[in-house]
Structure 1
Amino acid sequence: MKYLKSLTLKSLMIATLVSFGLISCSEDDSSTNNGEGTANLTVRMTDAPGDYDAVLVDVQDVEIHVETEAEGELEGDEDGDGWISVGDVETGVYDLLELTGGVSQLLADTEVPAGFVSQMRLVLGSENSVVIDGESKPLNTPSAQQSGLKLQINQEFIAGENYAFLLDFDVDKSVVTTGNGSYNLKPVIRVSAEADAGMVVGKVIIPETIEIDVQSLAVLTNGSITVSAYTNDEGEFALKGVPAGTYTLTITPQSDVDLDVHTNTEVEVRPNETTDLGEIEL
């Protein structure tokens, strides 16, 4: 693993595979399941690690495809095809590699029409780039700019309830090198239900004899699912949106230090709970 410079974590980042789920129910006399009324939708973005200096994506909109039984036109559906913007999107150019160590960026926290939501799409602009060895190179994303990156949701949004989605980009798989030396963005995004998922946190302790800052890669896997994140400047990591189950955790320090890989084969994750592994000494 190539050494990645320590990242300064922004206090405000995008809210990029995607996590989704019902977080909590609020009591509302208008709550129904017939497509009437509105539900609260929160969309956040985070990142699985990648071996680059920076990966910058230009977020312009978040849209959902809604099927509703309510009479009349769907508000915001200008083309009559069921696609609407979620509204109040935090647009901007964001560095995915700053969304690690448990950090995520809020993209939207808004009210949307109740109904069956089959898909979500992330619409990107033209200011996408990747930085390699200090050199910035364009990231080509033609499909994302035209129609958006489509993500499967297949969730019934009930009026008066709250839904939260985590868009988890896998940068290493999402940035593709072409034959002519250019780069394409073909996003690989994980989707999971935050309400039914757990989180694993911990802090990696480096021996005092090592006098440089060390960044480590934390990876949870159980064969079919892999969730990863780098440690922050304090050695802390947070693995979010993890489905319940038993996982193997590996902590791999950067390659230019003489430290062994830490492995724990019995990390149990429970729904809606945080598993705190405490301090992990390398």
Structure 2
Amino acid sequence: MMKKQLLAIAAMALCAFATSCSKDDNTTNDPNNPNNPNTGKSSLSMYLTDGPGDYDAVYLDIQSVEVTMDGQSPVTLNAIRPGIYDLLKFSNGTDTLLARADVPSGSIEQIRLILGSNNSVVVNNISYPLITPSGQTSGIKLNLHDSLVAGNAYNIWIDFDAAKSIHQTGNGKYMLKPVVRAYSALTNGRIKGFVLPLSALATVYAINGVDTFSAIPEVTDGFFLISGLPQANYNVLFDAGDTTLKDTMYLNVPVTFGVETNLGAVTLVP
């Protein structure tokens, strides 16, 4: 069966959580009105997670995150631990708190991830520096347009797709061209399960039209989890790395925000 090629994915738009969805005459654009959602600050936490890649390690030197609210100067969220993170340690639902700070409430204009210079990829036990295009020296931009309500707390996951973000050049060098998406706790559709036998060395793809998301099951137990999926029906392909086993496809798997779709144990057969 022809293997599915991963497609470039635009960063996912975020949906913020508010304590009330209703509107009334007390909510205006007047900054002196205490009912104005743009008055005050919101607590914002950024988490780092990763899509899979066929590398030994992918090291990113993460220094800080900048959040620009509409009409205001950027706010820097200093990394909890500035320095080098191995992206491949944060897959199948694993993440790490990257930064946390209070930011002015209102509409997010842009999020920018600031990298240092010590970025590298390990392939077949050999480390190669990751060359960052000159256009990204000011940081990796996430153009998100979402609203934060004063007094509320928000979690946002920054999800690197390692497989799509790293490109080998003709002269054997490796380029970092980040493919990054972001999602919040309430815009996080999820599909999980187990792939057996472990020797299948499968890759799992969730396919919705031109968008493809992926996971590489854990080698210890076959567990996989694909997070940050938009609400839709997906065809889920279990692509066997062991050519003696057949690929398997589940059709029209529903994904709904706030619900974790569990496919259970999926056994690939000869």
Structure with more relative contact order (C-alpha pairs < 8 Å, separation 6 or more): 1
Which residue of the partner structure matches residue 29 of structure 2? none
Name the CA distance, whole Å, in 2 between partners of 1:189 and 1:88: 18
Name the CA distance, whole Å, in 1 between partners of 2:57 and 2:212: 22
Aligned length: 245
Q: 2:94 aligns with which of 77, 99, 103?
A: 103
Which residue of the partner structure matches residue 77 of structure 1? none
Q: 1:183 aligns with which of 174, 190, 193?
A: 174
Q: 1:220 aligns with which of 194, 206, 213?
A: 206
Answer yes or no: is 1:154 the counterpart of 2:145: yes
Deviations 1:117-139 (A, max 9, x none): 11101111111001111110000
Deviation at 1:22, TM superposition (A): 2.2
Q: 1:115 to 1:23 in 2, by over 3 A?
A: closer
Deviation at 1:177, TM superposition (A): 2.1
Answer yes or no: is 1:22 the counterpart of 2:8: no
Name the CA distance, whole Å, in 2 between partners of 1:46 and 1:144: 24
Q: 1:131 aligns with which of 107, 122, 125?
A: 122
Q: 1:171 aligns with which of 133, 149, 162?
A: 162
Deviation at 1:142, TM superposition (A): 5.2
| Structure 1 stretches of 4+ moved >6 Å | none
- 5+ long unaligned stretches in structure 1: 1-16, 69-73, 75-81, 207-211
Deviations 1:174-224 (A, max 9, x none): 112234321111101123444033211111121xxxxx7554211101113
- 5+ long unaligned stretches in structure 2: 1-10, 21-32
The amino acid across from 1:170 in the alignment is D
Q: 1:278 aligns with which of 255, 258, 264?
A: 264
Query: Are the equivalent residues in 1 in contact too, given 2:189–2:229 (CA < 8 A)?
Result: yes
Deviation at 1:61, TM superposition (A): 0.4
Deviation at 1:225, TM superposition (A): 2.4
Q: 1:111 to 1:261 in 2, by over 3 A?
A: same
Q: 1:86 to 1:273 in 2, by over 3 A?
A: same
Name the CA distance, whole Å, in 1 between partners of 2:260 and 2:203: 19
Deviations 1:247-273 (A, max 9, x none): 000112334x62221210121111211
Q: 1:253 aligns with which of 240, 244, 249?
A: 240
Q: TM-score when scaled to structure 1?
A: 0.78
Which residue of the partner structure matches residue 228 of structure 2? 241
Q: 1:25 to 1:215 in 2, by over 3 A?
A: farther
Query: Are the equivalent residues in 1 in contact too, given 2:46–2:97 (CA < 8 A)?
Result: yes
> CA RMSD of the aligned region, Å?
2.4
What is the identity percentage for the equivalent residue pairs of Structure 1 and Structure 2?
36
Deviation at 1:107, TM superposition (A): 0.9
Q: Secondary structure at the match of 2:81?
A: coil
Q: Secondary structure at the match of 1:187?
A: coil
Q: Secondary structure at the match of 1:21?
A: coil
Answer yes or no: is 1:113 the counterpart of 2:104: yes
Q: Secondary structure at the match of 1:58?
A: strand
Q: TM-score when scaled to structure 2?
A: 0.81
Q: 1:38 to 1:133 in 2, by over 3 A?
A: same
Deviation at 1:152, TM superposition (A): 0.9
